Structure 1
Amino acid sequence: MDKTVTSSTSGGKGFLRAMMFQHMRWEYLAAGVSGGVISTLALHPLDLVKIRFQVHEGYGVALTRRPQYQGLIHALKSIFSTGGFQGLYQGVTPNFVGAGMSWGLYFFFYNSIKTWMQEGNTKKALAAKEHMLIAAEAGLLTLALTNPIWVTKTRMCLQYEAGAASSTQYKGMLDALVKLWKYEGIRGYYKGFVPGILGIAHGAIQFTLYEEMKNRYNQHKGRSIDYRLGTLEYLGMSAVSKIIAATCTYPYQVLRSRLQEQHSTYEGVRGFYKGIPVYLVHVTPNICIVFMIYEYVINWKTWQNKDAWTDDS
């Protein structure tokens, strides 16, 4: 009797473990991390300028505390003239750590949930509402794990050049995390979390459009939905889906940056689309790099597995 119960319990645990882990593929994590890190290192200066434009309250406001930029090129030149190349990469450590973790975890959660909903059959098409649900779940899980890193990135990007006073100076990412916990506690780590939740819609719209475009394109060509496309096709679909998602949801990023900054208690938003030109210039090539690297890493891994199957047979 005891043996039967033990065997049943053991079998039940084994079943749960199988349900939890059978659809998890770690190459999605590796692909997302690779794309996130490379795109961030290449485009961080644009991200830095974007954040500064988002919190800019207008000319004549706190002139002694913040530099005044007249546009993207002027901002880049001003930052470089004051801080050199290092100035353009201020806050890059939490940015590439956060981007690597976020894209890695997002792709990992997204594809694990997606494969589970497809019951392991990659040729099974899902509805748009299912893609949106998967993206929302993946976004919430990722945000909960990475929000403290994004707060440190915003704070470090808003440490202005000489002559612009700041209430707290951070020596690096670790120092920022320690000081956030010391002076602001858990609430400091999760500043901007609520608008971040609103921003989950960004990923949901983007991934739904991206998946739908890939599926419909392959169906139009008479191919299975998991058929691997060419570089230009991936670039085009990722760019279009990102621009549409960004335009629809950009205001949450302005609100999030303002809630996360430390220079003032000002939280009103007079311009929901403040800094969006810089954002689009930054985010369009960014997402193209991320998705291109992601698709090619997954494609390489898939063909590697096929070769292994062939060798075994």
Structure 2
Amino acid sequence: MSPAPSENRVTGSSTQLSLTGHIQNVFSHVKVENLAAGLSGGVVSTLLLHPLDLVKIRFAVSDGLNLRPKYDGIIHCMRSVWQQEGIRGLYQGVTPNIWGAGASWGLYFFFYNAIKAYTKEGRQTELTATEHLLSAAQAGIMTLTLTNPIWVTKTRLVLQYSADPSRKQYKGMVDALVQIYRYEGIPGLYRGFVPGLFGTSHGALQFMAYEELKRDYNKYRNMASEAKLNPLEYITMAALSKIFAVATTYPYQVVRARLQDQHNQYQGVLDVVRRTWRNEGATGFYKGIVPNLIRVTPACCITFVVYENVSRFLLGQTI
């Protein structure tokens, strides 16, 4: 026998209250210090390494269109951009990249630490690798939902070629946001969101590996799992976890960049995958991985070292 309507209402209300209480409990663990520390790390690493990000994206979308410049390698690409557009060209799209990286790292650490603290509440045992993975995945989804429009504008600005005068050029981040919204609506601002969701697995795998490496290393030293490491140790943990995550999940970045590119039209994720496979084979899904590794590995190291030290300073931790 099915429950009466009034019983359904009671059940629905209790479920809603439970969900509301769950969200309130999670947010009771948030710390603005984590947001500030993550934002600091993201901004510093982006300012130092943006030119390599530009190179990575240009290689990722290099699908043979005649309007695209042809590059023989990382050095040739950077030299070509420098000769044609100077330092300004190498830093094309840096504004949304700073906003995006700062906001993404800040929000990621903000949500991740809150979810992790909520999951660990009332427990004496450490979180498992799976719990670290799930905490990071949830943080990634929440962060992507808030920042995807920034990443679309960054990709569009990075893919403005001086040899393509026929296409209207964006004047900057705000102009790009306004134009994309005006001509493509909300869907335009959320291009690449679906592969971006798959990309949350990248952050989840990275954070899981980072946490496990730190914990195992501290166990080896007979120290507390949250004991402070020196900068070289943080760099090593961050580099190993980033390389592991990139090698595992890179193809989604190629798919995402191609969906966000203004020079080509795809019908969706499956269309990008099908056409890339047909025209370029398996290697097409790994275009740009070398400049990406050269960029993201030091970027990740800088971000994590800045984050760990700034957060400990702000939170007054001395362990």
CA distance in 1 between counterparts of 2:190 and 2:23 reads 31
Q: Cα offset for 1:117?
A: 1.1
Structure 1 position 21, deviation (Å): 3.7
| Aligned partner letter, 2:189 | Y
- Asked if the contact 1:181–1:189 (Cα under 8 Å) also holds between the matched residues in 2, the reply is yes
- Following superposition, the deviation at residue 192 of structure 1 comes to 0.3
Provide the C-alpha distance between the structure 2 equivalents of 1:190 and 1:52, rounded to a whole number of angstroms. 20
Q: How many residues align?
A: 288
Aligned to 1:195: 195
Please list the CA deviations of residues 28-53 of structure 1 after superposition, one character each: whole Å capped at 9, or x if unmatched.
00011000011001100000010000
Check conservation: 1:114, 1:134, Cα contact below 8 A: yes
Aligned to 2:80: 78
Distance 1:265 1:188 in 2: 12
Q: Is the 8 A contact 1:159 1:166 kept in 2?
A: no
The partner residue of 2:293 within 275, 280, 287 is: 280
Instruction: Judge conservation of contact 1:147–1:193 (CA < 8 Å) in 2.
Output: yes
Contact 2:26–2:114, Cα closer than 8 Å, also in 1 = no
Look up the match of 2:182: 182
| CA displacement 1:5-62 (0-9 Å, x = unmatched) | xxxxxxx9xx88962443111110001100001100110000001000000014xx41
Amino acid of the structure 1 residue aligned with 2:86: G
Instruction: Give the deviation of 1:265 after TM superposition.
Output: 1.5
Identical-residue share of aligned pairs (%): 55
How is 1:284-303 mapped onto 2 (pairs within 5 angstroms)?
Answer: 284-302=297-315
Match of 2:39 among 33, 37, 40: 33
Q: Which one is further off, 17-26 or 229-238?
A: 17-26
Q: What are the equivalent positions in structure 2 for 1:36-185 lying under 5 Å apart? A: 36-58=42-64, 61-62=65-66, 65-119=67-121, 124-161=125-162, 163-165=163-165, 167-185=167-185
Q: Distance in 1 between matches of 2:115 and 2:22?
A: 15
Per-residue deviation at 1:125?
1.2
Which amino acid letter does the alignment assign opposite residue 273 of structure 1? Y
Structure 1 segment 1-16 matched on structure 2, within 5 A: none
AA partner of residue 252 (structure 1): Y
How far has the Cα of 1:235 moved from its partner? 0.2
Deviation of 1:154 (Å): 0.1
Contact kept in structure 2, 1:167 and 1:262, CA below 8 Å: no
Q: What TM-score do the two structures reach when normalised by structure 1? A: 0.88
Conserved 8 A contact 2:59-2:287 = yes
Partner Cα separation in structure 1 for residue 77 and residue 111 of structure 2: 37
Q: After superposition, what is the alpha-carbon deviation per residue over 1:127-175, rounded to whole angstroms, capped at 9, x for unaligned?
A: 00000000100000000000000000000000012x2245331001000
For residues 90-147 of structure 1, the C-alpha deviation after alignment (integer angstroms, 9 at most, x for no partner) is 00000000000000000000001001111177x7410000000001000000000000
> 1:64-94 CA deviation, whole Å, 9 max, x = no partner?
x111111000000000000011111000000
Gaps of 5+ in 1: 1-11, 307-313
What is the alpha-carbon root mean square deviation over aligned residues? 2.0
Q: Secondary structure at the match of 1:229?
A: coil
Counterpart residue number, 2:237:
237
User: Normalising by the residue count of structure 2, what TM-score does the alignment of the two structures yield?
Assistant: 0.86
1:309 corresponding residue in structure 2: none
SS in 2 for 1:191: coil
Where does structure 2 lack aligned partners over 5 or more consecutive residues? Answer: 1-17, 267-271
Query: Following TM superposition, by how much is the alpha carbon of 1:264 offset from its aligned partner in structure 2, in angstroms?
Result: 1.6
SS of residue in 1 equivalent to 2:108: helix
Letter of the 1:46 counterpart: L
Measure, in 2, the Cα distance between the counterparts of 1:232 and 1:220. 17
